[in-house]
Structure 1
Amino acid sequence: MTDSPRPNGNRRTPLPPASPPGTATSRTDTPRTDTPRSGASSSKKRRDAFFDNAKYLAIVLVAVGHFWEPIKGDSRFMEAAYTVVYAFHMPAFIIISGFFSRSFDMRPDRLRRLITGVAVPYIIFETAYPLFKRVVDSDPGQEISLLDPWYLTWFLCALFVWRLTTPIWKAVRHPLPLALGLAMLASVSPQIGDDLDLQRVLQFLPYFVLGLCMRPEHFHLVRRRSVRILSVPVFASALALAWWAEPRMTTGWLYHRDSAQELGAPWWAGPVMMLVLFGCSLLLTACFFAWVPGRHMWFTALGAGTLYGYLLHGFVAKAGEYRGWFEPSVLHEPVGAVAVTVFAAVLVTFLCSLPVQRVFRFALEPRMEWAFRRDAAEPAREREQREKRAKQEAGETRESREAQEQVSA
Structure 2
Amino acid sequence: MSTSVVVPDLTDPDLYAHGDPHTVWRTLREHAPVYRQSVGDGLGFRAVTRYADVARVARDHDVFGPEQGAVPDPFGIGDPAVGQRLAATDPLRPDRMRVLLDQALRARPIRARADDIRSGIRALLPPDGDPFDLAEAMKALPLVVIGALLGLPEDDRPRLAHLALMAFAGDDPDYRLPEGPAATVRRAHRELFAYFGDLVRYRVRRPRDDLIGTLLGLRHDGERLSPDAVVVGCHDLLLGAGVPLSQVPGAAVLELARTGGYAAWANRPDLLDSGVEEALRWSTPANHLVRITRRPVELSGVWLPEGATVVAFLGSADRDDRVFAAPDMFDVARRSNRHLAFGAGRRSCVGSSTARPALRLLFGELFATYASLEVVGEPVRLRSTFLAGLKRLPVRGRPRPGTRPVTSPSPRGGADRRSQSSDIAKSFRA
Give the TM-score, by structure 2 length: 0.25
Question: Larger helix proportion, structure 1 or 2?
Answer: 1
Give the TM-score, by structure 1 length: 0.26
Question: Larger strand proportion, structure 1 or 2?
Answer: 2
Q: Which has the higher contact order (CA 8 A, sep 6+)?
A: 1
- Which one has the largest radius of gyration? 1
